[in-house]
Structure 1
Amino acid sequence: MGSSAPKACLRVQGTDIVDADGKRVILKGTATGGHTNMENFITGYPGHEHEMRAALLEVLGPKKYEFFFDRFLSYFFTSSDAKFLKSLGLNCVRIPINYRHFIDDLNPSEIKSGGFVLIDRVVDACSAEGIYTILDMHTFPGGQNQGWHSDSGIHKALFWDFKDFQDRMVNLWVEIARRYKDNTWVAGYNPMNEPGDPEHYRLQEFYKRVEKEIRQVDPDHILFLDGNTYAMDFSGFKEVLPNCVYSIHDYANMGFPGNEQYRGTEEQKEFLRKTYERKVAFMKEHKVPIWNGEFGPVYANRQSDGDEWEEINRWRYELLGEQLRIYRGDEISWSIWLYKDIGFQGMVYANPDTAYMKLLKPFFEKKKRLGLDKWGRDDKHVGHIYQPVVEHFKEEIPERFLNKRYPPHWRVEGQINRVLRDMLFSDISCYEYASYFEGKTEEELDELAASFKFENCVTRDGLNEILRADAALDSVEVHRCKGLRL
């Protein structure tokens, strides 16, 4: 039996999100990344979603291509997934969206109705379990940032340079708001995931414009606004918009390969806190709510990480627990990244014995060895190939210019890897990925897609128990349990 709809939309009241009765609501949940916005490390392809889709279309042909993705999108998130999240006590799901589900770049003035069908499935499955949803636009024409997850295929954020791109997305948001304005299970709209505006001021202009246009058709829903430079920087923000929650992303490098391993030292804990406090300084100064829209480490496994995989994961769970303790101190809302994948970060993941995992196992192993995915990249097998290129740049470019390219925290190493591996090598590798699907029947394609059904997935119990324990803490218990060790 579905849950009755809230009487009114959630809204901002001071530093809180409140319901129709003025009761504070702390949103705690996860994101369906890899579904209505796909990403390489989540489902195993290389590079960018649109490149992977083009390669699969060439191999499968239009009929089988449509069949496979229809099944994949149907299976990836169902009522079973929503029931599982409800069983953990989570009350919110962030839905990352690729704009291409709504807009064809060759016919950008027409909004495709099929996009709403996909989003409705998730919203309806969650609302039936009493779970709020947040609609997150994860990709933009031209790319709102320089990363693979904007699905632009390039290393520049051209969205900021073309008003035509901006007009398209404002118009799309108006139509989305028109569609969901009366749906009180939708907690709000996240207009742009991880902006990367090199000039900093254009992001605020876009937010003001899209907020104004959305309010014309939907005056009630909250907007969740990411900071600039991948939701980490609010230094260029000058004002607070009404009924808006401001969003950080708070990934800790200590939870990823190739970085200092988290060991729970006081210095490491202090570093986590200082990083968080820097990100939320704007919200605390202006006394507005905080939402941590993405965070969470990645996890090791026996097959690819050797005998130390359990010890690695133990410390990464400790890291996650420490982050949650910091968030409880400010009683903020959060959405962990990620719900479902092929075994790297998800709360649940496709069973290694499923058809998709067995078919593509050799390719996954090769992709990991080559370090093609930026997310959790390990260079132990190919560092000797790329490091000379980095050294060449450092030898030929004066030091004061090396890291001027935005975003500066990527440094020259990150810029080189973005172009050579995330783009060129990965784009070409899409054809190899697609070749595994050659000659597959519709029955076989259905079985491959069904690998992502909840019933065919493994639950990551260590992670889920930590989230369950935190979700169980209500606003009163927060004060009693600040010292809880998960």
Structure 2
Amino acid sequence: MAPPAPKACLRVEGTAIVDADGKPVILKGAATGGHTNMENFITGYPGHESEMRKAMLEVLGREKYDHFFNKFLEYFFTPSDADFFASLGLNCVRVPLNYRHFLDDLNPEKGINPAGFKLLDGIIDSCSAAGLYTIIDMHTFPGGQNQGWHSDSGIHKALFWDFKVFQDAMTDLWVEIARRYKGNTWVAGYNPMNEPADPDHVNLQSWYKRVEKAIREVDPDHILFLDGNTYAMDFSGFDEVLPNCVYAIHDYASFGFPAGERYKGTDEQKRQLRKVYERKVEFMKEKGVPIWNGEFGPVYSSPEDPDHEAINQERYNLLGEQLSIYKADKISWSIWLYKDIGFQGMVHASPDSPYIKLLKPFLEKKKRLGVDKWGRDDTHVRHIYEPVIQHFKDSIPPEFINRRYPQVWKIEGHIHRVIRETLMSEILCWEYASYFKDRSLEELDELAASFKLENCVRREGLNEILRKDAAES
């Protein structure tokens, strides 16, 4: 039997999120990344979702393409997944969306596609029935709100900030989302933009003010969860606090990735974790507003990797230390991520599943080439790119070499973004799609069903940490 709906929408009161009775609510959960916004490292394809889908349509034809992706969307998150969430004591699901479920880039006159709302309704209803809040997260934008693969722009620039027509379209979409879920008290709020990266540091503020005003005209009650600039890490350009808004960081730790120093739990490493966190939340503490950590979490080593058990235990320890920081500050959080093919998720497709068995040679190749940015180990190919990087450094004066935003990437990151993560990945999409050639409807159904919860493996070490933290709330 479904629990009764909360009496009113959650709201902001000082530094807390509170319920209808004014009781503080700390939201704890995970994101369903890879589902309604697909990402390369989550489900195994290279590059960007829209490019992968084009290649799949070319290989499968319309009927089989629609069948596979409809089944994938159906199986990836079901009432069983929501019940599993709730069994861990978690209370909130962040739902990342690709705007293309709602808008047609080539036919904007069609308006909003109702299929997008049907899909989102199903997720929210499943979560509500399990007593879970949801946060609606717009993860992609026309032209790209950031330079990353997860904005599904297919390029290395964030063009959303340069075109008013893009900004108009997404403001209008948010108005319709708010209109639909107005009064739904299981919806904790709206995350209008995932990981903005505005090079000028002023356009983001303008759009936040615009979309906040537009949403409030149809839905005055729901909280807005506003990410900081530069991938939810920088609030230096923020000049004011908007009403009933929670401000959001993403707090990934370098210790949780192959390129970073291994986490040993030293006092210095713990100080570094706290220092980085405090820098990110300085704006919120200064203004006295709630903090939401919308993404964090390490990636995990595979059984075929050297020393994988020790590495994964170190990363569990890292996660525990991060949670202790958030607990001390009484902030809400959403870990990245719920379900994938075995890299970061709380559950993952089984190595014996039809999907993983089919794609195993390609997944091994993709890992060896290091084409995915997220958590890659590029040991095998680093020597190929180092001469290119050095050529740039030799050719461009030092005062200009790292001028390109985001500067934190340095020239190395921008080169990899163009060569590996964009060009090579785009071309590899056809190879990925070729694995699905001549598959029957029944076989495509079996491949999609690899992501059903009952067919997945649970990462118990991770889930036990989350369960314990939820129980201590």
Q: TM-score when scaled to structure 2? A: 0.99
Q: Report what 2:11 is aligned to.
A: 11
Deviations 1:352-381 (A, max 9, x none): 111000000000000000001000111111
Q: Which amino acid aligns with 2:100?
A: R
Question: Equivalent residues in 2 for 1:282-301 (5 A)?
Answer: 282-301=283-302
Q: Report what 2:121 is aligned to.
A: 120
Helix, strand or coil at the partner of 2:154: coil
Which whole-Å CA distance do the structure 1 matches of 2:183 and 2:244 have between them?
16
Q: CA deviation at 1:106?
A: 1.1
Q: Report what 1:30 is aligned to.
A: 30
Q: Report what 1:77 is aligned to.
A: 77
Q: Report what 2:308 is aligned to.
A: 309
Question: Does 2:13 align with 1:20?
Answer: no
Q: Which moved more, 1:227-236 or 1:253-262?
A: 253-262
Which whole-Å CA distance do the structure 2 matches of 1:254 and 1:389 have between them?
27
Which whole-Å CA distance do the structure 1 matches of 2:424 and 2:23 have between them?
51
Helix, strand or coil at the partner of 1:470: helix
Q: Report what 2:149 is aligned to.
A: 148
Which whole-Å CA distance do the structure 2 matches of 1:187 and 1:380 have between them?
42
Helix, strand or coil at the partner of 1:104: coil
Question: Equivalent residues in 2 for 1:132-281 (5 A)?
Answer: 132-281=133-282
Q: Which moved more, 1:101-110 or 1:310-319?
A: 101-110
* Structure 1: unaligned runs, 5 residues or longer: 475-486
Which whole-Å CA distance do the structure 1 matches of 2:334 and 2:469 have between them?
12
Q: Report what 2:377 is aligned to.
A: 378
Which whole-Å CA distance do the structure 2 matches of 1:187 and 1:157 have between them?
28
Helix, strand or coil at the partner of 2:293: strand
Q: CA deviation at 1:3?
A: 1.4
* Structure 2: unaligned runs, 5 residues or longer: none
Q: Report what 1:448 is aligned to.
A: 447
Q: CA deviation at 1:247?
A: 0.1
Q: CA deviation at 1:302?
A: 1.1
Q: CA deviation at 1:108?
A: 2.0
Which whole-Å CA distance do the structure 2 matches of 1:453 and 1:164 have between them?
38
Q: CA deviation at 1:473?
A: 1.5
Q: Which moved more, 1:438-447 or 1:104-113?
A: 104-113
Q: Report what 1:422 is aligned to.
A: 421
Q: Report what 2:102 is aligned to.
A: 102
Which whole-Å CA distance do the structure 1 matches of 2:119 and 2:408 have between them?
36
Which whole-Å CA distance do the structure 1 matches of 2:447 and 2:188 have between them?
33
Helix, strand or coil at the partner of 1:111: coil
Which whole-Å CA distance do the structure 2 matches of 1:205 and 1:184 have between them?
28
Q: TM-score when scaled to structure 1? A: 0.97
Helix, strand or coil at the partner of 2:155: coil
Q: Report what 1:482 is aligned to.
A: none
Q: Report what 2:93 is aligned to.
A: 93
Deviations 1:28-63 (A, max 9, x none): 000000000000000000000000000000000001
Calculate percent identity across the aligned residue pairs.
74
RMSD: 0.5
Question: Equivalent residues in 2 for 1:25-64 (5 A)?
Answer: 25-64=25-64
Q: Report what 1:480 is aligned to.
A: none
Q: Which amino acid aligns with 2:403?
A: K
Q: CA deviation at 1:262?
A: 0.9
Which whole-Å CA distance do the structure 2 matches of 1:148 and 1:402 have between them?
23
Helix, strand or coil at the partner of 2:108: strand
Q: Which moved more, 1:134-143 or 1:391-400?
A: 391-400
Deviations 1:431-465 (A, max 9, x none): 00000000000000000000000000000000000
Helix, strand or coil at the partner of 1:302: coil
Deviations 1:458-484 (A, max 9, x none): 00000000000111112xxxxxxxxxx
Q: Report what 1:346 is aligned to.
A: 345
Helix, strand or coil at the partner of 1:245: strand
Q: Report what 1:67 is aligned to.
A: 67
Which whole-Å CA distance do the structure 1 matches of 2:422 and 2:59 have between them?
21
Q: CA deviation at 1:282?
A: 0.4
How many residues are treated as equivalent by the alignment? 472
Which whole-Å CA distance do the structure 1 matches of 2:396 and 2:264 have between them?
37
Q: Which amino acid aligns with 1:45?
A: Y
Which whole-Å CA distance do the structure 2 matches of 1:252 and 1:400 have between them?
29
Q: Report what 2:459 is aligned to.
A: 460
Helix, strand or coil at the partner of 1:335: strand
Question: Does 2:364 align with 1:365?
Answer: yes
Which whole-Å CA distance do the structure 2 matches of 1:174 and 1:289 have between them?
24
Deviations 1:123-155 (A, max 9, x none): 011100100000000000000000000000001
Which whole-Å CA distance do the structure 1 matches of 2:174 and 2:406 have between them?
27
Deviations 1:281-331 (A, max 9, x none): 00000000000000000000112x13x000000100010000001111100
Which whole-Å CA distance do the structure 1 matches of 2:61 and 2:38 have between them?
20
Q: Report what 1:479 is aligned to.
A: none
